[in-house]
Amino acid sequence: MSIFEGRGLTVKYGAVVALDNIDISLEPGLVHGVIGPNGAGKSTFIDALSGRKRPSSGKVLLDGSDITRRSARWRRTKGVSRSFQRTSVFGSMTVGEQLEMVARKNDEPDLEGIMKTLGLDEIRDRVCSEIAYGTQRSVDLAIALIGQPRVVLLDEPCAGLVADESVRMLDHVRTVCKERNVAALLVEHDVEGVFRTCDVITVLDLGKLLATGDPASVRADENVIRAYLGSAA
Amino acid sequence: MKRQLIAAVAALALGATTAACGSASTNSGSDGDSDTIKIALIPPTSGALAQFGTDAVKGWKTAARIANDNGGIDGKKVELIIKGTDADPATTLRVAKEAVTKDGAQFIGAVMTSPEHAALNAQLEGLGALSFNSLGKDDALVGEQCSKYGFHIVQTSSMDINGLADNINELPGEKWAIMAVDYATGHSAAKKFKAAAEAAGKDVVMEQFAPLNTTDFGSYITKLKDSGADAVFAVEYGADGVAFVQQADQFNLDDQLKTVLGFNMVSEPLFETLGDSIAGYYNNVGYDVDADNALNQEFVKAYTEDNGSAPYYVPADNYLAAETLFAGIEEAGSTDPAEVADALQDLSLDSITGEVTLRGADNQLLRDSYLGEVVKADGGLKFKILSDANPDVTTPEPDSACKK
Amino acid sequence: MTTTAPADDITGDMVEPATVKRGRPGRMLIGLGVGIAVLLVGLAVPYVVTDTYRMSLLLDATILSMLALGIGFMARHLGMISLGHGAFFGTAAYAVGVAITNWGWSPLNAVIFAILLGSALALVMGVLVVRASGFGFLMLTLALSQALYQLSVQISAREWTGAYDGKLITYEPDMTFLGLTQADLINPGLFWPFAWSALVVSGIVLWVVGRSKFGTTLEGIRENEERMRFSGYNTFLPRLIAFVLSGSVASLGGALFAMNAGYISPQILGFTQAGDSLIAALIGGFGIILGPVIGTFLFVYAQANFNFGGNLHLLTGLLLIVVLVFMPGGITGTLQKVYRRIRGKDRQVSDERGRSGRDIASDRADASELRAENEQ
Amino acid sequence: MNAAQVLNGLALGSLLMVLSSGLAMIYGLRGVANFAHGALYMSGAYIAYSVSDRMGFGLAIIVVPLALAVIGVVLELAFFRPLQHRSHIELGLITFGLALIAERLVILIWGEKTLRVRPPEFLQGTSTIFGVEYPSYRLAIIVIALVMAAALILWLRLSNVGLHIRAASQDIETAAIMGINVDKVSLIVVSLGSALAGLAGTLAAPYIALDPGMGNAFLITVLIVVVVGGIGSIAGAMIAGMGLGLIQTLSTVWSPSFAVLVPYLALTIVLLWRPTGLAGKRIS
């Protein structure tokens, strides 16, 4: 049994179907990538899984039990956390303050470790709105990782980062996932990065599931090549 | 920064024009000379009542001018300390404290509303100043809220309503409807009028109360029309009164009515606004400008010289307050508030409204009340006094709740 | 909801960035020491200001400051601008009046009752409004407090509130408040110690709460409510607690107001009173706890000295615009900025354009400002 | 209950509809609850008083909205545009300050006295409709407001500018990226919004009495209407305005003191039931 599952997730905005009957399951220690062109429903998908958006139909399961109607807060306390595509940090607080604040709620034995891994220990006294954007993304990630979550849903952690920052970010994600045995979902625009980082990949297009499987098989999938990789590459 | 500048310049320009057309000046303060009678005037200078406030001050000014022209009162010069309030009791109280403690005023006048007087009465003794109320009509001011130092010059609501009730038989109409403001005065006026009307053998077919500050009387007027009434007793003041009259006009309510009897509804300052459509309306009148006595003729002449127009009840009642105060000072031979207060007990004096008496039990001035009809006269409107009612008839016994 | 950071997201800041260093017991103790010193020094005021009139102005300002303090607390720590705190101030004032006049309670019990009632009202109102943010919160607090005003002037409420006539407080004979008779209570010099202590103690309490861990939680909610929920925090309860706490301070002010004035006018619950207190607090600035207090003292001073001809609101309107346009952060915020600049310690590079990545309502450009975030 | 009472409700509703549609337009686009809207409406009524005094009411109904449109242009150019990057609350409080200034300005120009405006001659009497005798002027208000509402909705739905306004009201930043001239759209919306406040003031002048408190008296009600209707939804505001006018008038027939509380009750109930207002969309 998977630790975290989405079954038949469907999200409708009025008549528009943004997400159409998608299944997914995450395993501890594996990074599961989700890719797709703009408008594929990636953000809607992570919102539906994380409790930001209530799905029109379908279920979200944690350890096999239905948590579809649970709040974001409840999910977090049960070990499901997420990060945000538009950087979501606490602008007026220092890096240290806000991580401590989150750690206070989520019992983190090794806050120093997280800060060190993400290179934040040296800027702990800087006010968050004044640090570089790339570093803010790391803070965002750190907030999601505090409290030893079992499932981490990452919404485009590399958005807005330059190439080498991006590479470093994905390395961090993979390292943390392996070290802490976390089930990670990585929604990302950067296709190559996903192929490099992820153990399993799901491809979405126009709200529909196009393919899912290990990187090699996805890369070879005809539908994927036709609809997505072919045009993008 | 540039954007901020545009916005700020715009704001400042707006403000500058405003300040240019409207910085009201006031004179206040004086060098303390114990041989002057210092009267602080605290009228509303903003809000819907500002016009009345201005006119109240005019009454006092004429009184002070005449007194000073005649060598003062008891040999002392009269000095007016003109302040202002927004008619909020808290403001009025603060200004009164300032006038008494800072400017040395011994007497207070031109305070407008009953709530202001209620708040002021509660603190008069502490302040050691006398207040002369020529505008706040609430009965409680001579009842539970009365003060040894507060003098009620204007008629109370009860006196007004009793004056009207006394004359109900002179007014045409058998089926009366009552339209009153949903306010203490509205309810007590309605109750008393109803009793008087029924005693006079009239039908009261409906009573309704509209909240204060009602702007749309449409549904009330529709109900009035549906009630089949042929006369209306209306207790609506200020903007509410104007809205009611104007909308009644649009609904052609007058066609159905023989009588519209207003209670404090139409008065001289509103004649121009309301226009000819109120000709034929009846209303209580506090003061008869044509009263045939020498003091009144002197006052009307002096006031008209000062202001270019004849007085109506607001300046007149304030002038009457001044007359009462001056009589008290002369009687006491002193300007000490406590001594003047004692001298005023049950004092009778000749005034612009004939002989009046200040009743000691509740500090109410006993004076006539009138019923008037709005008539057209030389291009405008004026009140024609139909009858007057004696204080014996109008004034209730002193309220036992008044423990001064 | 929203997010911080992209550098072009220039937003206003009526709230001066509160980059306070928390959790240092040393600073906390210094703060407390300063507070107690201010309290003691302030008690001497009636001996210095012997003029009754000046004294009564100071007293008025002190009492009204408690209302502004409550408004300022919500603005400073949660970025929530309230037009409804007048409701707690007014309710407490009326409660004192009713308990003493209608029920013949002792003044001390009446004051305690008033604070509890005002706080209870804050709790009920808070449940309805704290989920909203930005304009939603502003309008809901305005609407609910106006509803209360309309109720208070209903003729059927006359027995309790005196409706439009206001409520005169009359004591049973021989009743005293901590040894003061009703006549003493009206005396500003004699009443001063109560009002001053209440203000300083309320200020210290709010300051300590603001610096506590709870204060950090509030700041987190102000900065990014959604992320707080996604970090496992309940964001409703802290907002409710803060609302009730600020409402209690306003209630205390209202109770003292009634004790001193002896008369409650219906305007106390009106739109103008709510607007005036907010403007005073804004002009003072929300950045430091003293801001709203300073604003209120200035406002009371201006009211006493520049109100002739009814031009007070013309002036406050102008001042409000000037402050909002040129001096975000109000008077205290601007002074702080100037001070920092002189000291050369201004770390804020982006200060010139307003601090980036912050937003008072924390949901700028969010079309669904009224959306209540469901806690589920 | 009779037809006249329903007409009374429609008349009040019409006034609220005109007033709130202007407020809703500005709110939807700029995200700012314009606290000066009540002052604009009051200014409109007072200008209508002066204009109809000299040139007749018929002219006032054209001149006043134009004059207010000019004020709207000033408002946009001097405040909304230069300060558009400020938070909405700050901008809202600035309009609060503007309202305080404008209210005083009106008093300084026209005085504090209650004033009265007469409707044009041919609308002064009553007409018979649905078997009841009803003031012709109130019928005219209802007709004018309904025509205005229909025209506004059609314009927003069918014209190019209308499309741009709707797009910008959805998301002003995206609209700008899509090449819509947001500055131009905003200028049109703010001036049209204040013109509508001017129209409401003109219509109100012969309907209710003019006094300096009239702006504030309506401001809170209209803000409530806009929130109840759903922020940014002009049609929602119109429907809520008409609905509130009807409910309030009809409850006045039943109990005047209850009717005063109707707007507040409506707001609380609607927001508890649908936090985004009747026509609001849930955007996340």
In a domain, B401, yes or no: no
Together in a domain, C214 and C250: yes
Q: How far B83 CA lies from chain C's nearest CA (Å)?
A: 8
In a domain, B336, yes or no: yes
pLDDT score of C259:
93
What is the span of the domain harbouring residue B149? 36-155+290-367
Reply yes or no on whether the pLDDT at C15 is more than 60. Answer: no
Reply yes or no on whether the pLDDT at D271 is more than 90. Answer: no
> pLDDT tens for residues C77-103?
999 999 999 999 999 999 999 999 999
What is the span of the domain harbouring residue C197? 16-308
In a domain, B381, yes or no: yes
Mutation target for D interface from C158, C267, C313: give the one with most D CBs within 10 A. Answer: C313
Instruction: Output the average pLDDT for chain A.
Output: 90
Tell me the pairing of strands B259-262 and B348-351. Answer: unpaired
Together in a domain, B148 and B294: yes
> pLDDT tens for residues B260-309?
999 989 988 888 888 888 999 999 999 999 999 999 999 999 999 999 99
Which residues are CB-contacts of D121 (< 8 A; sequence separation ≥ 6)?
none
Q: Among positive and negative, which fits the CA dihedral B76, B81, B82, B88? A: negative
Reply yes or no on whether the pLDDT at D282 is more than 50. Answer: no
pLDDT score of B7:
52
Q: Where are the alpha helices (DSSP H) in B311-399?
A: 313-332, 337-344, 391-394
Per-residue pLDDT band at D45 (split at 50, 70, 90): very high
Together in a domain, B166 and B278: yes
For residues A77 and A147, give the distance between their C-alpha atoms in angstroms, rounded to a whole number: 9
Together in a domain, C83 and C218: yes
pLDDT score of C349:
40
B7 and D208 within 8 Å at the Cβ level: the answer is no
Mean pLDDT of B307-322: 95
Together in a domain, C239 and C370: no
Provide the number of CB pairs (under 8 Å) joining chain B to chain C: 119
Q: How far D275 CA lies from chain B's nearest CA (Å)?
A: 30
For residues C98 and C158, give the distance between their C-alpha atoms in angstroms, rounded to a whole number: 11
3-class secondary-structure state, position A213: strand
Helix pair D88-110, B2-22: axis angle to 10 deg: 20
B265 within 8 A of B236, measured Cβ to Cβ: yes
∠ CA D231-D233-D234, nearest 5°, is 125
Mean pLDDT of B130-155: 92
Q: Give the Å distances, CA to CA, from B25 to A169, B82, C308, C311.
A: 70, 10, 7, 11
Q: Given B93, B118, B122, which is nearest C165 (Cβ)?
A: B118
C373 within 8 A of C1, measured Cβ to Cβ: yes
Together in a domain, B355 and B207: no
In a domain, C315, yes or no: no
- Give the end of a domain, one of C276, C308, C340: C308
Together in a domain, C253 and C358: no
Q: Give the Å distances, CA to CA, from B311 to B303, B306, B375, C2, D113.
A: 7, 10, 17, 65, 17
In a domain, B248, yes or no: yes
For residues A126 and C3, give the distance between their C-alpha atoms in angstroms, rounded to a whole number: 18
pLDDT score of D61:
93
In a domain, B242, yes or no: yes
A72 and C234 within 8 Å at the Cβ level: the answer is no
Together in a domain, C268 and C132: yes
Mean pLDDT of D251-266: 90
Q: How far A13 CA lies from chain D's nearest CA (Å)?
A: 10
**Whether C and D touch (3+ CB pairs < 8 Å), yes or no:** yes
Contacts with B, C 247-276, CB within 8 Å: 261-263, 265-267
Together in a domain, C278 and C366: no
- Give the end of a domain, one of C279, C308, C337: C308
Structural tokens at position B109: 């006048």
Together in a domain, B98 and B146: yes
Q: How far C296 CA lies from chain D's nearest CA (Å)?
A: 17
- If residue A118 lies in a helix (H) or strand (E), which one and from where to where? none
Q: Where are the alpha helices (DSSP H) in C330-371?
A: 330-343
**CATH code, B232:** 3.40.50.2300
In a domain, C370, yes or no: yes
C19 and A69 within 8 Å at the Cβ level: the answer is no
Number of independent structural domains in chain B:
2
Query: Using a CB-CB distance cutoff of 8 angstroms, which residues of chain C are in contact with residue D30?
Result: none
Together in a domain, B224 and B99: no
pLDDT score of D37:
96
Lowest mean pLDDT among B243-257, B327-341, C1-15: C1-15
Per-residue pLDDT band at A56 (split at 50, 70, 90): very high
Query: Using a CB-CB distance cutoff of 8 angstroms, which residues of chain A are in contact with residue C220?
Result: 90, 93, 98, 101
pLDDT score of C1:
33
B48 and D114 within 8 Å at the Cβ level: the answer is yes
Instruction: Output the average pLDDT for chain C.
Output: 83
Q: Tell me, yes or no, if D163 comes closer than 8 A to chain B by beta carbon.
A: no
Together in a domain, B234 and B195: yes
Provide the number of CB pairs (under 8 Å) joining chain C to chain D: 157
Number of independent structural domains in chain C:
2
In a domain, B132, yes or no: yes
Per-residue pLDDT band at A233 (split at 50, 70, 90): very low
Lowest mean pLDDT among A122-131, C266-275, C306-315: C306-315
Instruction: Output the average pLDDT for chain D.
Output: 90
Closest by CA position to B319, among listed B307, B332, B336: B307
Q: How far D157 CA lies from chain B's nearest CA (Å)?
A: 33
pLDDT score of B6:
53
In a domain, C214, yes or no: yes
Structural tokens at position C152: 């208070």
Q: Give the Å distances, CA to CA, from C170 to B96, C254, C258, C263.
A: 21, 17, 11, 9
Query: Using a CB-CB distance cutoff of 8 angstroms, which residues of chain C are in contact with residue D271?
Result: 132, 136, 140, 370, 372
Reported for B353-356, long-range contacts at CB under 8 A and 24+ positions apart, including other chains, are B353/B287, B353/B288, B353/B291, B353/B296, B353/B316, B353/B320, B354/B291, B354/B293, B356/B320, B356/B324
Helix pair C236-261, C52-78: axis angle to 10 deg: 170
Query: Using a CB-CB distance cutoff of 8 angstroms, which residues of chain B are in contact with residue D104?
Result: 18, 22
> pLDDT tens for residues B346-395?
999 999 999 999 999 999 999 999 999 999 988 789 999 998 889 998 99
Together in a domain, C178 and C86: yes
Which has the higher per-residue pLDDT, A38 or A98? A98
Together in a domain, B285 and B295: no
pLDDT score of C360:
35
Mutation target for C interface from A53, A93, A114: give the one with most C CBs within 10 A. Answer: A93
Tell me the Ramachandran region of residue B228: left when phi exceeds 0, alpha when psi lies from -120 to 50, beta otherwise: left
Q: Give the Å distances, CA to CA, from A138 to A31, A84, A121, A172, C8.
A: 18, 11, 11, 9, 20
Number of residues assigned to chain D: 284
pLDDT score of C24:
63
Together in a domain, B279 and B338: no
B4 and D82 within 8 Å at the Cβ level: the answer is yes
Closest by CA position to B320, among listed B361, B367, B275, B268: B367
For residues D262 and B346, give the distance between their C-alpha atoms in angstroms, rounded to a whole number: 51
Tell me the Ramachandran region of residue A213: left when phi exceeds 0, alpha when psi lies from -120 to 50, beta otherwise: left
Together in a domain, B88 and B230: no
Q: Which chains touch D (3 or more CB pairs under 8 A)?
A: A, B, C
DSSP state, D76? I
Lowest mean pLDDT among B148-157, B258-267, C357-366, D185-194: C357-366
C119 within 8 A of C248, measured Cβ to Cβ: yes
Which has the higher per-residue pLDDT, B315 or A87? B315
Counting beta carbons within 10 angstroms of the beta carbon of residue A216, is it exposed (0 to 12), middle (13 to 18) or buried (19 or more)?
Answer: exposed
Reply yes or no on whether the pLDDT at C18 is more than 60. Answer: no
Which has the higher per-residue pLDDT, C139 or A1? C139
Please name the residue of chain D whose CA is at the shortest distance from the CA of residue A43.
Answer: D284
Q: Given C13, C320, C359, which is nearest D96 (Cβ)?
A: C320
B271: amino acid identity, one letter: F
In a domain, B18, yes or no: no
Query: Using a CB-CB distance cutoff of 8 angstroms, which residues of chain A are in contact with residue C22?
Result: 97
Together in a domain, C279 and C374: no
C299: amino acid identity, one letter: F
Reported for B361-364, long-range contacts at CB under 8 A and 24+ positions apart, including other chains, are B361/B398, B361/B402, B362/B142, B362/B143, B362/B146, B362/B152, B362/B398, B362/B399, B362/B402, B362/B404, B363/B142, B363/B146, B363/B147, B363/B148, B363/B150, B363/B151, B363/B152, B363/B404, B364/B142, B364/B152, B364/B156, B364/B395, B364/B398
In a domain, B31, yes or no: no
Contacts with C, A 110-149, CB within 8 Å: 127-130, 133, 136, 143, 146-147
Query: Using a CB-CB distance cutoff of 8 angstroms, which residues of chain D are in contact with residue A47?
Result: 284
Query: Using a CB-CB distance cutoff of 8 angstroms, which residues of chain A are in contact with residue C2?
Result: 86
Please name the residue of chain D whose CA is at the shortest distance from the CA of residue A51.
Answer: D284
**CATH code, C217:** 1.10.3470
Q: How far D138 CA lies from chain C's nearest CA (Å)?
A: 28
Reply yes or no on whether the pLDDT at B20 is more than 60. Answer: no
Q: For each of the domains in chain D, give its residue range(s) and CATH number, in order of start.
A: 3-113+133-273 (1.10.3470)
Mutation target for D interface from B52, B182, B206, B219: give the one with most D CBs within 10 A. Answer: B219
Q: What is the pTM of this model?
A: 0.87
pLDDT score of C102:
94
For residues C362 and B310, give the distance between their C-alpha atoms in angstroms, rounded to a whole number: 61
